[in-house]
Amino acid sequence: MTTTSLLSNVRIEKYLTRLQSSLRGVAEDDKQDILREIRAHIVDSAEHAPDPQSAIDRTLRLLGTPEELASRYSTECQLRRASSSFSPWLLFRTCWNWAQLGIKGTLAFFLALFGYGMALGCTVSVFIKPFVPKLGLWTGPEGFGIIIPDHADRMHELLGSYFIPVIAVIGFVFAIATTQILRWMMRQRTPRVASTAERSSQLAQVQN
């Protein structure tokens, strides 16, 4: 198989087309650069192989599906931006993408969901309070939490007139703590190295 025929190989083209459509959030110039590099890599891998077709199969397998590869590119790109960002929305979106790559990302996503959820809940409560005076931090038979009790006479409100400042501070603390922990987790991430056993298993699957 010549270089020219490799360059127009249907399987490579299909792979690159899927990769292109999956590379969301990557600048167009970077996208074209990535596609060009992956194409060059596949062609290089197959060029001098005794059986180019199986070499292409093996390389495509080791690259992962186009969606997985695109996700790694997008996530690397997003993680780099997010790890130095204070935007909860960017951090949350990045965690969502990161969660699809492994356990650490999943943990980060649930942390983001909980932390920002609490912060949002506190913020909403602060804004609602002036219009719904019964909203408060209640404890009693109906439970404990920021609620509007059905039977206020049987419940005890803990914060009274301090509700707005205290809940606002708690909301800020949740937002800040979540942001800082997520940024720290993103900076601590480690790239994935395929174990020799894993790689051997991948190669065996291709050969079979």
Partner 1 sequence: MMAIYIALQGIVPNNSNGDRGQHWEAQLRKGCLEMAILASLWQSRLYGLEILRALSEKSELDVAEGTLYPILSRLKGEGLLDSEWVEAEAGHPRKYYWLTAPGRRRAREMAGAWNEFADKLTSLVQPVVGGK
By CB under 8 A, what part of segment 71-90 binds partner 1?
72-73, 75-77, 80, 83-84, 86
How far is Cα 135 from Cα 143, in angstroms, rounded to an integer?
Answer: 14
The C-alpha angle with vertex 80 and arms to 177 and 91, in degrees rounded to 5, equals: 35
The Cα 57–Cα 202 span in angstroms is 11
Q: Which is nearer to partner 1, 87 or 148 (CB)?
A: 87
> Among residues 18 and 139, whose Cβ is nearest to partner 1?
18
44 lines the binding site for partner 1 (CB under 8 A) = yes
Task: Indicate whether 59 belongs to the interface with partner 1 (CB under 8 A).
Answer: yes
Q: Closest CB to partner 1 among 155 and 182?
A: 182
> Measured from the CB atom, is 36 or 156 closer to partner 1?
36
Residues present in the chain in total: 208
Among 40, 90, 128, 158, binds partner 1 (CB under 8 A): 40
Beta strands across the sheet bearing 136-140: 143-147, 136-140, 156-157
Residue among 4, 5, 161, 208 that touches partner 1 (CB under 8 A): 4
Residue 146 DSSP SS3: strand
Q: What secondary structure letter does DSSP report for 150?
A: S
The yes or no reply on residue 41 touching partner 1 (CB under 8 A) is yes
Task: Give the H or E element holding residue 36.
Answer: helix 28-47
Residue 22 or residue 139: which is nearer to partner 1 going by CB?
Answer: 22
Enumerate residues 108-127 that contact partner 1 by CB under 8 A: 123
